[in-house]
Structure 1
Amino acid sequence: MSENTDVADWWRTSIIDMEPGRISLRGHPVENLIGNRGFAQMIWLMVTGEEITGQRADLFEAALVAAVDHGPQAPSIAAARMAATCGIGLQSAMATGLNMLGDVHGGAGEQAVDLYRAIEAAGLEELKVTLDSWRTQNGRFIPGFGHRFHKPVDPRAPRLLALVDEAAASGEVTGSFAKIGRAIEAHLTEERGKPVPMNIDGATAVIYAELGCPAPLARGFFGLSRSVGILAHAWEQTEQGGRNKGPTPPQYRWTFDGS
């Protein structure tokens, strides 16, 4: 901090510069961005400080679109809907849902990016060794593969991978992480003797890895995406009404297993 700017230097940012009558975001006057950048492009610019265009922008937007919702059984959505019946505002209901996103629900995309990069570093010929090492450190579940509901295929994954293939054919991305993802899927299917499909987390992780995202951003972008579904469900529940709705109808009771 300098002597005369100790207060101004308390917070430092390269994201926004502003004074009365002027707003600049990442060096762009806001009036030049409005109407000239899509929302997905704006998210990328704000978070990374870089422009994203063409098929790369299309891939990023596709990943955001694909993960917006997974129904009231998803913990983040269920929590937001229950919160909406408790007399709190829409933003508080959204915050309740977003706060449900953690290592298990919402974190698989970040974990999958880390796994893909570990396999890339070791080489595909070391796939089994890398997966075994991953399981030793993180448990038996391989992030981004298998789905308790969508069998034998998560309908979102093939479409996302097809878009990656198109971008790779145009030279916009390398396609190497799509190859890694498919190799994991094939290995797990052979290992278990039944289909183990890549799921939404594995497919979006392919896109984020292809775009060069640090792994934690995969989780952050998932949260942004899922917040759309959380908002939609919280608002729908607000319009439907209901008071103090819990996870099950009131005629269903819990199991008491105490003495």
Structure 2
Amino acid sequence: MSQDADNIRKWWQTSIIDMEPGKIAFRGHPIEGLIGNVSFPQMIWLMTRGDLPTKAQALLFEAALVAGVDHGPQAPSIAAARMAATCGVGLNNVMATGVNMLGDVHGGAGEQCAELYYEVAQAMNEGVELEEAVEAALQNWRETRGKIVSGFGHRFHKPVDPRAPCLMQLVREAAAEGTVSGQFAEIGEAIQRAIGRSRGADIAMNIDGATAVIFCELGFPAPLSRGLFCLSRSVGILSHGWEQMQQGGRNKGPMPPNYLPLYQPKDPDE
């Protein structure tokens, strides 16, 4: 092989796929052995982690993915997708529009929450007690990110986000069976209690806090929490985009046409 050919082959290096004419293998597994034998959540795990999960791990992982698929048109990602669907773009453009709305504020809370959990876990690994580690992590959070702690509280679901208790129960059951350690469930609930004490009222753990518990329990790095949420929410974005296409409508904006934005002229003295 010439030096140029060798350099070209090395331009993109991957351990994810081995492909040549007549051959496709993901992480060393021939595609023929995966089709019909692994679930889509197992495939996501394989592609991102490099190995296949146990059945119990896959079930817990799948539960987190199922829980985040949709939150209705009031969610910015879904609203944007539905509006895009009325603008004459294709379904792939509709989905891209919705996914591109998933940023630090809407869609990124799971990653931020996982970072917080891992910070507490690191302190505990160094010998700090749970409650002390939580208080220190929350103080650091508030000094650097403000009073709103990602993963806790919800503008719509009060006092309970119905998704979180279900997921946390599954984590507890998985911990009892030895599938996961249960450490991050304890950390998440300790943070929830600490926030409640500081505000003088209970606060809900939301979907981001609960799925972050699961992703941390399963060993996913914090940044993947956001990517996995994007995969999950893509199901809702696809569904709403397709539904809007069937309903029709053109250039459907965020408000009915008989409601106009408030015109507020600029104060010339400002």
The TM-score range, normalised by the shorter chain, is over 0.9
The residue number in structure 2 matching 1:77 is 78
The residue number in structure 1 matching 2:206 is 199
* Matching residue's letter, 2:64: A
Once the two structures are TM-superposed, the CA of residue 129 in structure 1 deviates from its matched residue by 2.3
* Matching residue's letter, 2:113: A
* Matching residue's letter, 1:219: R
SS of equivalent to 2:18: strand
1:125 and 2:131 matched: yes
How far, CA to CA, are the matches of 2:140 and 2:66 in structure 1? 33
Deviations 1:164-198 (A, max 9, x none): 00110011110000001111111112222222010
Alignment partner of 1:172 out of 174, 179, 183: 179
Once the two structures are TM-superposed, the CA of residue 42 in structure 1 deviates from its matched residue by 0.3
Identity percentage over the alignment? 64
The residue number in structure 1 matching 2:104 is 103
The residue number in structure 2 matching 1:6 is 7
How far, CA to CA, are the matches of 1:30 and 1:258 in structure 2? 62
Unmatched 5+ stretches in structure 2: 125-129
Once the two structures are TM-superposed, the CA of residue 125 in structure 1 deviates from its matched residue by 3.0
* Matching residue's letter, 2:29: H
The residue number in structure 2 matching 1:34 is 35
SS of equivalent to 2:204: coil
Alignment partner of 2:233 out of 202, 220, 226: 226
The residue number in structure 2 matching 1:52 is 53
* Matching residue's letter, 1:100: M
The residue number in structure 2 matching 1:141 is 148
How far, CA to CA, are the matches of 2:123 and 2:144 in structure 1? 16
SS of equivalent to 1:231: helix
* Matching residue's letter, 2:197: E
How far, CA to CA, are the matches of 1:194 and 1:107 in structure 2? 25
- State the Cα RMSD in Å: 1.2
Deviations 1:91-119 (A, max 9, x none): 00100000000000000000001001111
How far, CA to CA, are the matches of 1:174 and 1:194 in structure 2? 29
Once the two structures are TM-superposed, the CA of residue 122 in structure 1 deviates from its matched residue by 2.3
Return the TM-score normalized by structure 2: 0.93
1:67 and 2:73 matched: no
The residue number in structure 2 matching 1:215 is 222
1:153 and 2:160 matched: yes
SS of equivalent to 1:104: coil
SS of equivalent to 1:195: coil
1:239 and 2:240 matched: no
1:254 and 2:225 matched: no
How far, CA to CA, are the matches of 1:10 and 1:245 in structure 2? 45
How far, CA to CA, are the matches of 1:100 and 1:258 in structure 2? 29
How far, CA to CA, are the matches of 1:55 and 1:32 in structure 2? 20
Once the two structures are TM-superposed, the CA of residue 62 in structure 1 deviates from its matched residue by 0.4
Aligned residues: 259
8 Å CA contact retained: 2:131, 2:190:
no
SS of equivalent to 1:6: helix
Return the TM-score normalized by structure 1: 0.97
* Matching residue's letter, 1:157: A
How far, CA to CA, are the matches of 1:252 and 1:44 in structure 2? 46
